Structure 1
């Protein structure tokens, strides 16, 4: 993803990780944490605490600045609520610019340790560019992208010969949707327009690639009329909110990776019940003072609901299903971005997250020990 060329005020633009609310939500996921534990209350034993401390500073680069997206807000909240302190992790948060491949390159080089990417397909693409990263959690299991058009577009084939705006490269699920709908994609002029959705009602473009928890909210606030086209309505699979790390570093620091994800899982539960508080913590990180709390709360509510809705019962948030990954990667093959589906097992490692959950509930070791006493 490229840096916006025509951005709205910073942090109002699209997140790297976004999605819409499904009408029917599954009951999966862990029980909500009603209260944040004291920052001084350790959740791990002394030996594990020392091991985590010995890893030194752990650097996390967000996908897009401090927007309240899934796989971002949990990190900000885990820091603010003391969850990282509780597992003895020293986490440094850096705001990313939206250039996912640049962030994955830093993780591959060992300059940073964790970063979210927009989808599992981007894990594959990053490795195709020789960025050695591994996906350790996938929070959303539907495509993150949607295509917005004016109401005059009644069939996607109406877009042939028209102009489509997109921030960076066209997302694989959108290209797959267009292809499935019988559209001659080569006949559409694609232009990099950044993140300003007002170009659609101004007819500067006839279609706009969007993030489903972002631009639709902005157009609604402008009282504009539009049609939103969803890839899954055309049978296209996808994902969003994928946490990536360096596979070699992760193997050498297993407890760090597990407890980083553990703190995020705890924060997810807390922020589901206390979204306003968590979003305000994200706002405090924004050095520009331009953070829109109301808009970002909508982003978080939409995305977190979709995570819950796309997670099966008694399954931890972030589970990895390689059968879905293979189907998503096939989109890249069908679009010509890849010659073939590579071996996916080395690119995704579910075992770190599996140490965090039991029957869909977050394991917080200190509480487990108290219950056993």
Structure 2
């Protein structure tokens, strides 16, 4: 794995083959393999917006959405695909082009800062790291203070300190939130043998090379293992009050300053689609079908359906305190800075106040009334 100055997250890959493919895809990410607004819909342009606001959004020009990882049915990806396919962007006079990201968050932040992407999925922690490294992007939404990173163990491990002296597998590094959880639970970190594993989670139930624990994503590896008939225990950092985020989005700040209504309405359309895709099994199937159509014949519809339902359940079970869906919790940002200091991921000179200034709720606040997303737009 190529490391950057940012400790980046390689988002929810299901196989080594897909991970390798991602490297090739990114070369095309901003020149091809994309889809424009409202492909395959009969939506009427401007049907959910005033004429004045429609003009403002049209003046924004083409808005490039860059996904976190391919067209996987994750929160922050599937609802943007659905907003496009259902015509919600067109309803708001937005010209949105979807681009598949490679899973390299560090690269996404650079594309965003350079203006090659307009909006992209970027975890709160990753945004703090990017800004600490001089990459100018702004956080504009998040769905939860819970995260996707988890630790899995076989069922004979009933307390995390039982891992002392054992072998723990990871995908390139142990995520900070997982390490923070383990240390908070009393694990002696220096006693562990850390081993880089591939993308086949069956190494855990097979205890390959003495493996006793494996990092993963709550919506991916546990579902794959369950489908294979393997029972594992999933340890989630949120249960230990460790900060993280799900579905967080960031924007190019120059674009946001020039076109605030467009930023608001991109989020409005995405949240409207989130509600649609979460409303029933049939609508989830419909939305995952849109992602499958973009991805091709090898798309694992069953697994991607589980990814969406798992992530939206984590979000529903862990709502952001005192915020509507999409609102960012400033206290969570403070906790993230403390965690990043703890593991020397960002310099101590980066303060919580610095980090909080890198996020804003102004766009979510503008599209929310009584805790609900306002639709149609004014």
TM class by smaller structure: 0.7 to 0.9
Aligned residue for 1:128? 132
Give the Å deviation of 1:253.
1.4
Q: Distance in 1 between matches of 2:179 and 2:44?
A: 46
Equivalent residue in structure 2 for 1:42, among 42, 47, 59: 47
Give the Å deviation of 1:196.
2.0
**Structure 1 segments unaligned to the other structure (5+ residues):** 14-35, 369-373
RMSD: 2.5
Please list the CA deviations of residues 197-222 of structure 1 after superposition, one character each: whole Å capped at 9, or x if unmatched: 11212223321111111111111011
Q: Distance in 2 between matches of 1:314 and 1:181?
A: 28
Aligned residue for 2:243? 237
Q: Distance in 2 between matches of 1:125 and 1:313?
A: 23
Give the Å deviation of 1:114.
1.0
Within-5 A mapping of 1:324-335? 324-335=332-343
Q: Does structure 1 residue 55 correspond to structure 2 residue 60? A: yes
With over 3 angstroms needed to count, the CA separation of the structure-2 counterparts of 1:50 and 1:191, relative to structure 1, is farther
Equivalent residue in structure 2 for 1:297, among 305, 308, 327: 305
Q: Distance in 2 between matches of 1:50 and 1:270?
A: 26
Q: Distance in 2 between matches of 1:196 and 1:168?
A: 14
Q: Does the 8 Å contact 1:151/1:227 carry over to 2?
A: yes
Equivalent residue in structure 1 for 2:75, among 70, 75, 79: 70
With over 3 angstroms needed to count, the CA separation of the structure-2 counterparts of 1:323 and 1:83, relative to structure 1, is same
Give the secondary structure class of the aligned counterpart of 1:347. coil
**Structure 2 segments unaligned to the other structure (5+ residues):** 1-8, 22-40
Give the Å deviation of 1:132.
1.2
Q: Distance in 2 between matches of 1:154 and 1:37?
A: 54
Give the Å deviation of 1:186.
3.3
Q: Does the 8 Å contact 1:146/1:174 carry over to 2?
A: yes
Within-5 A mapping of 1:287-326? 287=296, 289-311=297-319, 315-326=323-334
Within-5 A mapping of 1:247-326? 247-273=253-279, 274-287=283-296, 289-311=297-319, 315-326=323-334
Q: Does structure 1 residue 137 correspond to structure 2 residue 141? A: yes
Within-5 A mapping of 1:1-373? 1-2=9-10, 7=15, 10=18, 38-40=43-45, 42-117=47-122, 119-204=123-208, 205-273=211-279, 274-287=283-296, 289-311=297-319, 315-340=323-348, 342=351, 343-365=354-376
Q: Distance in 2 between matches of 1:116 and 1:311?
A: 19
Structure possessing the higher relative contact order (Cα contacts under 8 Å, 6 or more residues apart):
1
Q: Distance in 2 between matches of 1:239 and 1:140?
A: 5
With over 3 angstroms needed to count, the CA separation of the structure-2 counterparts of 1:44 and 1:166, relative to structure 1, is same
With over 3 angstroms needed to count, the CA separation of the structure-2 counterparts of 1:165 and 1:4, relative to structure 1, is farther
Q: Does the 8 Å contact 1:5/1:194 carry over to 2?
A: no
Please list the CA deviations of residues 90-137 of structure 1 after superposition, one character each: whole Å capped at 9, or x if unmatched: 1111111111111111001111111112x3111111112222111100
Q: Distance in 2 between matches of 1:6 and 1:93?
A: 22
Give the secondary structure class of the aligned counterpart of 1:140. coil
Q: Distance in 2 between matches of 1:314 and 1:326?
A: 16
TM-score, normalised relative to structure 2:
0.83
TM-score, normalised relative to structure 1:
0.85
Please list the CA deviations of residues 281-331 of structure 1 after superposition, one character each: whole Å capped at 9, or x if unmatched: 0111104x2111111111111212322333369952111110122113211
Q: Distance in 1 between matches of 2:47 and 2:125?
A: 37
With over 3 angstroms needed to count, the CA separation of the structure-2 counterparts of 1:275 and 1:313, relative to structure 1, is farther
Give the Å deviation of 1:39.
4.0
User: How many pairs does the alignment contain?
Assistant: 342
Give the Å deviation of 1:37.
8.7
